Amino acid sequence: MQVIPAIDVLDRRVVRLQQGDFERSEDFGDDPVALAQSFVLQGASTLHLVNLSGAKSGKLEQPFLKVVRSISECTTLALQVGGGVRTLQDIYSLISCGSTRIVLGTVLFTDPELVRSAVLLFGSNRFIAALDVQNNKIRIKGWQENSDIPLYDGIKIIKSLGIANILVTDISKDGMEQGPNVALYKKIKKNYPELSIAASGGVRNPKDIRDLRRAGCSFAVVGKVLLSKQVRLSQLLRAENDLAIRIIPCLDIAGGRTVKGTKFQNLRDAGDPVELAARYCEEGADELVFLDISASKQERETVFELAAHVAEAVNIPFTIGGGIRCVEDAKRLLEAGADKVSINSAAVIKPELLSEIAEQLGRANTVCAIDARRKGNSWVVLTKGGSEETEKDAIAWAVEAAQRGAGELLVTSFDRDGTGEGFDTALLACIKERVNVPVIASGGAGRLRDFVDAAALGRADALLAASVFHFQTFSIADVKHVLRDASFPVRS
Amino acid sequence: MIGILRYNAGNTGSVQRALARLNITSKIIENPMELESISGMIFPGAGAAGSAMARLSELGWTDAIRSYTKPFLGLCLGMQLLFEFSEENDTECLGIIKGNVRELPDNVTKPHMGWNKLSTGEYAYFVHSYACKPSNQITSTMTVQYGESICAGVQQDNFFGVQWHPEKSGDAGDRYLLSFASLCR
C-alpha cells in the first residue's frame, strides 16, 4: 500500500473541485512545484498530477507540460500524470517531460484502439486506467458526461486492453471528506484480485488509509485533506503499514551499574541495569539502548558480561554503545548477546571503522550515533560525549554513515538534550529527507507531545528518552497512548 | 538438544541466550559431524547472502542442510538461504524451497527495522532489506505489510523459516521458539 499525494492543476493553479464540479473549485495557489517539494519533504515518492484544464478541454497544452517538466526536474518524485490525454503524441510528450506513468480516462472508452497501440509502444505498466464512478456508472470528460457504461463492464474493457492498474474514484465521495467508499474497493478486489487498485476520493485520516489497505487497495491517492492541512502527509504515510514507532528507553551505565545524571554530570548510582532493563521490557519498551560511559578500561570490561545478562533477561532487541573502538569490540558485544552496536566518536575520527563493522558484522547490527549541535543554519557533529566540536556537518555525516553501511542512525540533539523542550524536529526531518535508513530521535524529550512531534514533524522511526522514564515523569504506556491517539502505529 | 549453527560472527549469542531464558537446551554447532548429537537445528543467518553461502559451503554445510531430516529453523537470512536464489550478491542459495529472494523496493526505509504486525495479528521484530518470494504460496505461513505484502514465514517438510527474529520478538517470539522446540525430539 502506497499513499500518493495528488495535485490538480487548472490554468497553472492548484485547485480542488468538489465532486468534479468546475463551478465548485477551491484555489490553493499558483505554485504546484513548491507544493510537490513539500510532499517530498514529508516522505512522498510518487505524485499524482491531474491536468484539469486538459480533462475539461480534451487537449494537452504547453503550460501543463511545463508544470510536469518543472516538477520532474525539481523533485525526486515519480509522476503519474493524467487529464486530457487523447493521442499517442500526448503520451509521448508527457513521458518526455518526465512522467513515469500515464493515467488514461476518457480515451479508454472513446478510443480503445489508441490505447492498444499505446500499450504496445510503451508497455502496459506505463498506464493506469482511471475510472470515475458515480452510482455504479462511469463518467468521462472530466466527469462532465455520463458514459452509461456500468463499472464492471468498464473493468472488463480495461482488462481486455492489457492494463492491470486501475484508479477508481468515487465522485460522490471526492472532496467531500466523508471517508472513502471502502465497500466499493473491497468488492472490486474480490472480483478481480489480479488488479492493482488505487483508491481515490474521500480520504480524511490515517484510519481511512488503513481501511483501504485492508480492503486490498495497492494505492491511495489523497488530495483535498492535505491541501486544507487537516492532516499531514507524513501521518498518512505511516498508515501504509503497521510498522510500529519504537519507544526506546536509554540507560547510561558505568562499571556495570546504571547511572543517572544530566549531561554526564552529577552521576549517581541508579541500580542494576539488568533489573531495570527487565522492568522496561515488562512496561512495553520496544527496544533498549545501553550507553557505556565508563571512565576506565577495567570498568569497560564489565559491559560484555552485561550484554550476556541482558540477553537472558529480556525478549526485545538492545543496542550497546559507548567506547567501541574496533571491530573486535563490536564482535565481542554481538557474540555476548547484544543485537546492535552503536559507534559514535570512533567513527567520526575513523569513518572506515563503520564500513568495516558493517561489512564484517552486518549493516543491520551497525548503528551510527551522531551527536549534533546547531550552528547557524546547519548542525555540526560533536564527539567525546558532546565535549568536542568537530568541523563535520551533521547532515553530510549522516548521509556518509548510511552509505558506509550504518543500518540505523541514532541522532542526538545536544541543544535539546537534558532540556525537556522537545526533540529537534528540524534536524531529524533534514536527515530523514537525505537517508533511507531508520532514524532514532534522541535528546529533548520532556513532554508527551514531544514524542508525537518527533514522529509527525521529524519523521523519526524510533524515539529515545532517558530521564522522563527514569524519573517516571510518565510511562512508556503513556507515550504509546498519545502516539496511538495521533494515529501512529505502536506495538501493544 | 537443539543445535545452533555458527558459521561466522553473528547473532548466535542472542539466540542461545533466548533459548536459555526459555529453558530450551541448546548448543552451538560448527561442524556437520555434530549433527548426530542434536534433535533439531536453528540457523540464525547473519551478514550477507554471498559470504554466508560461501562460508557454509567451505564448512561442508550445504549438502548437510539439504539432506537434513529433523526440524530445521532458519531465521532471517537463514530463511532466505533456504530459497533458490538471492538478489543479494547474486547468490545461488540452498534451493530447498522454490522461489527467490529480492531486495525491498526503494520507496520504503531500508532495512525494514522494528516491530511490524504479522498476518497472524501479533507484532514481531524485523531487520532485513531482502525478502523471500516463494513460488508455491502454500509454503508461506504468514505475511507482513511493508510497502507490499512480504512473506514473513515458510514451512516445507521439516524446514521452517521466519523472516523476523523470534529471539527478540517478545511473547510471540517466545511462543514460536517453544513450539518449534516441541517438535525437536
Per-residue pLDDT of chain B (185 residues; tens, 9 = 90+): 999 999 875 678 889 999 999 999 999 999 999 999 999 999 998 778 998 999 999 999 999 999 999 999 999 999 999 999 999 999 999 999 999 999 998 888 999 999 999 988 899 999 999 999 999 888 898 999 998 889 999 989 899 999 999 999 999 999 899 989 988 98
Q: Cell digits for B184?
A: 525437536
pLDDT at residue B26 in the model: 96
Total domains present in chain B:
1
| Residues of B in Cβ contact (< 8 Å) with A311 | 13-14, 17-18
End-to-end CA distance of chain A: 22
pLDDT at A171: 84
DSSP 8-state secondary structure symbol assigned to residue B11: T
Do B86 and B172 form a contact (C-beta atoms < 8 A)? no
Distance CA A269, CA A42 (A): 42
Give per-residue pLDDT as tens, A65-77.
Answer: 999 999 999 999 9
Indicate if the pLDDT at residue A264 is higher than 60.
no
Cα separation, B105 vs B148, whole angstroms? 9
Peptide bond into B134 cis (omega under 30): no
Identify which has the larger pLDDT, A343 or A121.
A343
Residue A229 has φ and ψ, to the nearest 5°, of 60, 30
Question: How much is the pLDDT for B119?
Answer: 86
Kind of pairing, strands A219-222 and A2-10?
A: parallel
Q: How close are the terminal C-alpha atoms of chain B, in Å? A: 8
Rounded distance between C-alpha atoms, residue B113 and residue A364, angstroms = 8
The question of ipTM being above 0.85 is answered as no
The total number of residues shown for chain A amounts to 492
Q: Answer yes or no: do A244 and B116 touch at CB < 8 A.
A: yes
Alpha carbons A426 and A447: distance in angstroms, whole number: 18
pLDDT value at position A263? 58
Active-site residue, selected from the candidate residues B93, B112, B151, B167: B167
Which chain A residues have a beta carbon less than 8 Å from that of B17? 308, 311-312, 337
Check CB contact of A213 with chain B, cutoff 8 Å: yes
Query: Per CATH, is A246-485 categorized as 3.20.20.70?
Result: yes
Our measurement of the distance from residue B21's CA atom to the centroid of its chain's CA atoms, rounded to an integer in Å, reads 20
Confirm whether B92 is a catalytic residue.
Answer: no
Check residue A261 and give its pLDDT: 64
CATH number of the structural domain A2-238: 3.20.20.70
Task: Give the pLDDT confidence of A360-376 residue by residue, as tens digits.
Answer: 888 889 999 999 999 99
Who has greater pLDDT, A419 or A140? A419
Distances (CA, A) of A210 to A359, A489, B149: 37, 10, 14
pLDDT at A492: 86
Task: Flag whether residue B174 sits within 8 Å of chain A, measured between CB atoms.
Answer: yes
Pairs of CB atoms within 8 A across A/B: 124
Among B residues 84-113, those touching chain A with beta carbons less than 8 Å apart: 106-107, 109-113
Tell me what pLDDT residue A33 has: 96
H/E segment holding residue B123: strand B123-128
Prediction pTM value? 0.85
- Mean of pLDDT over chain A: 91
Give the Cα separation of A243 and A428 in Å (integer).
Answer: 19
From-to residues of CATH 3.20.20.70 in chain A: 2-238, 246-485
d(CA B50, CA B43): 16
Of A313, A334, A407, the CB nearest to B11: A334
Contact: B117, A242; criterion CB under 8 Å: yes
Pairing of strands A101-104, A127-134: parallel
Provide the domain limits for residue B35.
2-183
Q: What percent of chain A has pLDDT over 90?
A: 71
Disruptive mutation site among A189, A210, A242 for chain B (greatest number of B CBs within 10 Å)? A242
Where residue B159 sits, what CATH number does that domain have?
Answer: 3.40.50.880
Average pLDDT over residues A279-304: 89
Residue A315 has pLDDT above 90, yes or no: yes
Residues of chain B positioned with their CB less than 8 A from the CB of A327: none
pLDDT tens for A283-295 read 999 999 999 988 7
Residues of A whose CB is below 8 A from B112: 243
